[in-house]
Structure 1
Amino acid sequence: MSEEGVEPGSARRRSAVLPAGVAAVVVAAVFVASGVIRGTYPFGSLSRSTNDLGTQYIPFYAHLWDILHGRAQGDLLFNWQSAFGVGFLADLGVDLGSPLSLLVGLFPRDQIDLAVFVITTLKLSLAAAAMAAALLTMRPGPRWVAAILGVSYGVCGWALDDGSYVPMWLDGLIALPMFFLVAEWSLRRTNRLLSVLVVAVFWLSNFYTAYMATFAGGLYLLARLLTSDLSWSLRLRSVVRHGVSFVLGMALVAPILLPIVTANDAATPSPSGIFHASAVDVFLSRLLPLSEGVGRTASLYVGTIALLLALTLPFNKFVPWLTRGVWVLTIVGVAFSMRWAPTQELWHGFDTPNGSQYRQAFVLCGLIVAAAWVSVGHKLPGPVALLGGAVLLALIAVLSDGSPLLTEHWLVVLIVSGAFTLVALGTIWLLRRTPRTRRLRWPVAAAFAVLLVVVAVETTWTAVVTDEQRAKILSASNAPWDDKQTARYDALREAGGWPEYRTEPGTTVTPNDPILLGGQGAGLYSSLLPHSVNQMMTSLGFGWSGYGRAARSLPNPVTDAIFSVGARMRLLEDGAPEINRSAAPPLVTVRRRLGNAVPEDVNAPNAYAVQERLLGSTVYEVPEYKGTRFATGEVKLVAACKPGTSAFLYMPRVGGRARLGDGPWYELSSTRRPGINTSSPMIGLGTVPATGIVLIEVRFGAAPQGIPARHAIGCLDHQALSTAVRRLRASGATDVEAGGHSISATLPAGSKGYAVVAVPKISGWTCSVGGGKAVVPRDYGGLMAVPLTGTADRVDCTFVPPGLLRGLAIGAAAAVVTLGIVGIGAIRRRRTTGLRSS
Structure 2
Amino acid sequence: MNRPHFPEDNPLQSVHEATVNGTPPRGKPAALVAGLVAAAGFVVAGMIRGTYPFGPASRSTNDLGAQYVPFFAHFWDILTGNAQGDLLFNWQSAFGVGFLGDYGVDLSSPLSFLVVLFPRDDIDLAVFVITTLKLALAAAAMAALLIRMRPGPWWLAAALGASYGLCGWAIDDAAYVPMWLDGLIALPMFCLVAEWSLQRKHRTISVLVVAVFWVSNFYTAYMATIAAGLFLVARLLTSEQGWLDRLRGVLRHALVTVLGLALSAPILIPVFKANGLAAPSPPGVFVPVPLENFFARLLPLSEGVGRSASLYVGTAALLLAATLPFNSAVKAVTRITWTLLAVLVTASFLWTPTHEIWHGFDSPNGSQYRQGFVLCGILVIAAWLSVADRIPNWKALAGGTAIVVTLAILTQNSPLLTNGSIIVLACSGVLILLALLAVQYAGRPHLVALISSVVVIAAVGVELTWTAVVVDEQRSKVLSAAAPPWGSHQSELADKVREASDWPQYRTDPGTKQTPNDPLLLGGQGGGYYSSLLPASLNRTFTDLGFGWVGYGRASHSLDNAVTDAIFAVGARLDNDTIRRAEALPLVTVHPEPPADAPQPDNAFAFQERLLGAKVYDVPEYRGRRTATPGVVSLTAQCPVGSSVHLILPRVTGRARLGQYGEWKEFSAPRRPGITTSSAMLELGSTPGSGVVAIELEIVASSGRLPMTGAIGCLDQAKLRAAIAERRASGATKVKTGGHSIVATLKPDSTGLAVVSVPRVPGWRCSVDGGKAQEPTEFGGLLAVKLPGPSKRLSCGYRPPGLEVGLAAGAGAALITLALLLIPVLRRRRRKLAQTQQTQQTEQPEQPRQPEEAEQPAS
Give the TM-score band, short-chain normalised.
over 0.9
On the 8 A contact 2:509/2:570 being kept in 1, the answer is yes
Task: Give SS of 2:735's match.
Answer: strand
Which residue of 2 is the match for residue 578 of structure 1?
578
Superposed, 1:211-250 pairs within 5 Å as: 211-250=222-261
Q: Paired residue for 1:542?
A: 547
Instruction: Judge conservation of contact 1:594–1:780 (CA < 8 Å) in 2.
Output: no
C-alpha distance in 2 between matches for 1:380 and 1:310: 12
Q: How far does residue 441 in structure 1 lie from its aligned partner after superposition?
A: 1.3
* DSSP-derived class of the 2:749 partner: coil
CA distance in 2, matches of 1:418, 1:675: 51
Query: Does 2:637 correspond to 1:639?
Result: yes
Supply the distance in 2 between the matched residues of 1:532 and 1:486 (Cα, whole angstroms). Answer: 34
**1:404 alignment partner, SS class:** coil
Alignment of 1:313-332 (within 5 A): 313-332=324-343
Structure 1 stretch 126-135 or stretch 236-245: which is displaced more? 236-245
Structure 1 counterpart SS, 2:748:
coil
1:468 Cα shift? 0.3
Equivalence map 1:67-86=2 (5 Å): 67-86=78-97
Aligned partner of 1:617 in structure 2 is 614
Rounded to whole Å, the distance in 2 between the matches of 1:13 and 1:739 is: 57
Give the Cα separation in 2 of the matches to 1:357 and 1:548.
Answer: 20
Counterpart pick for 1:559 among 550, 555, 564: 564
- Alignment-derived partner of residue 496 in structure 2: 491
- Residue 302 (str. 1) matches residue 313 (str. 2): yes
Cα deviation per residue 1:132-167 (whole Å; 9 max; x = unaligned)? 001111111111111010110010001111111100
User: Does the CA-based 8 Å contact 1:654-1:669 persist in structure 2?
Assistant: no
* Worse overlay, 821-830 or 313-322: 821-830
Counterpart amino acid of residue 610 in structure 1:
F
Larger CA deviation: 376-385 vs 490-499: 376-385
* Match of residue 655 from structure 2: 657
Is the CA contact (8 Å cut-off) linking 2:135 and 2:181 kept in structure 1? yes
Q: What is the CA–CA distance in structure 2 between the aligned matches of 1:675 and 1:404, rounded to whole Å?
A: 33
Structure 2 SS opposite 1:706: coil
Q: Residue deviations 1:359-410, cap 9 Å, x none?
A: 1100100010000111112322111111111111101111111111111111
Distance 2:673 2:300 in 1: 32
Contact 1:595 1:613 (C-alpha < 8 Å) held by counterparts: no
TM-aligned CA deviation for residue 600 of structure 1: 5.9
In 2, Cα distance between equivalents of 1:55 and 1:407 = 29
Report Cα offsets for 1:485-535 as digits up to 9, x if no partner: 011000000000100000011111100000000100000000000000000
**Residue in 1 that maps onto 2:845:** none
Distance 1:385 1:829 in 2: 49
Give the whole-Å Cα distance in 2 for the aligned partners of 1:83 and 1:675.
21
Measure the CA separation in 2 of the matches of 1:358 and 1:760.
Answer: 35
Partner of 1:525: 530
Paired residues, what number?
819
Gaps of 5+ in 1: 6-10, 432-436, 572-576
Q: Measured at CA, do residues 2 and 621 of structure 1 come closer, stay the same or move farther in structure 2, by a change above 3 Å?
A: closer
Query: What residue in structure 2 maps to residue 269 of structure 1?
Result: 280
The alignment partner of 1:749 has SS state of strand
Q: Within 2, Cα distance between the matches of 1:4 and 1:727?
A: 86
Task: Report the equivalent of 1:574.
Answer: none
Match of 2:603 among 603, 606, 623: 606
- What residue number does 1:8 align with? none
Partner residue in 1 for 2:623: 626
What secondary structure, in the 3-state scheme, does the structure 1 residue paired with 2:58 have? Answer: coil
SS at match of 1:476: coil
Take 1:42 and 1:597, find their aligned partners in 2: how far apart are those partners?
A: 60
Letter in 1 for 2:50: G
Partner residue, 1:717: 716
Q: SS at 1:487's partner residue?
A: helix
In the alignment, the residues of structure 1 paired with residue 394 and residue 566 of structure 2 have an alpha-carbon distance, to the nearest angstrom, of 79
Provide the C-alpha distance between the structure 1 equivalents of 2:708 and 2:648, rounded to a whole number of angstroms: 12
Cα distance in 1 for residues equivalent to 2:636 and 2:107: 51
Q: 146, 151, 160: which is aligned to 2:171?
A: 160
Pair 1:444-2:449 in alignment: yes
Q: Please say if residues 47 and 54 of structure 2, whose CA atoms lie closer than 8 Å, have aligned partners that are also in contact.
A: yes
Q: Which residue number corresponds to residue 108 of structure 2?
A: 97
* Runs of at least 5 residues in structure 2 that lack an aligned partner in the other structure: 6-21, 839-859
- CA deviations on 1:299-328 (whole Å, 9 max, x unpaired) are 000000011011110011111111100001
Partner of 2:853: none
Counterpart in the other structure of 1:362? 373
Deviates further, 72-81 or 785-794 = 785-794
CA drift of 1:262 comes to 0.3
* Distance in structure 1 (CA, Å) of the matches to 2:428 and 2:289: 27
Aligned equivalents of 1:356, 1:371: Cα separation in 2: 26
Bigger radius of gyration:
2
Within a 5 Å distance, the mapping from 1:34-73 to structure 2 comes to 34-73=45-84
- 2:176 matched to 1:126? no
Deviation of 1:596 after TM superposition, in Å, equals: 6.3
Deviation at 1:282, TM superposition (A): 0.6
* Paired position in structure 2 for 1:589: 589
Conservation of the 8 A alpha-carbon contact between 1:78 and 1:741? yes
CA distance in 1, matches of 2:827, 2:309: 48
Following superposition, the deviation at residue 830 of structure 1 comes to 5.2
Residues 704 and 214 of structure 1: CA distance in aligned 2, closer, same or farther (over 3 Å): closer
AA in 2 matched with 1:331 = A
Distance in 2 (CA, whole Å) between partners of 1:497 and 1:513 is 18
- Whole-Å separation in 2 of the counterparts to 1:758 and 1:595: 21
Secondary structure at 1:648's aligned position in 2? strand
Q: Is 1:500 matched with 2:505?
A: yes
CA deviation vs aligned residue, 1:32-66 (integer Å, no higher than 9, x gap): 11011111110011110000000000000000011
Q: Post-superposition shift, 1:128?
A: 0.5
TM-score, normalised via structure 2 length: 0.93
d(CA) in 1 for partners of 2:390, 2:457:
19
Q: Secondary structure at the match of 2:676?
A: strand
Give percent identity, aligned residues only: 59
Q: CA deviation at 1:675?
A: 6.7
Mapped to 2, the partners of 1:416 and 1:385 lie a distance apart of 19
Aligned equivalents of 1:674, 1:308: Cα separation in 2: 48
CA 1:625–1:301 in 2, change beyond 3 Å: closer, same or farther? Answer: same
- 1:653-802 pair list within 5 angstroms: 653-661=651-659, 662-670=661-669, 672-673=671-672, 676-702=675-701, 706-802=705-801
Paired residue secondary structure (1:711): coil
Residue 9 (structure 2) aligns with? none
Q: Aligned equivalents of 2:451 and 2:575: distance in 1?
A: 62
Q: Is the 8 A contact 2:172 2:471 kept in 1?
A: yes
CA contact (8 A) 1:311 1:392 kept: yes
Of 626-635 and 268-277, more deviation after overlay is shown by 626-635
CA–CA distance in 1 between the matches of 2:564 and 2:214?
40
* 1:778–1:597 distance in 2 versus 1, CA, 3 Å: farther
Misfit runs of 4+, over 6 Å:
595-598, 832-838
Q: What secondary structure sits across from 2:645 in the alignment?
A: strand
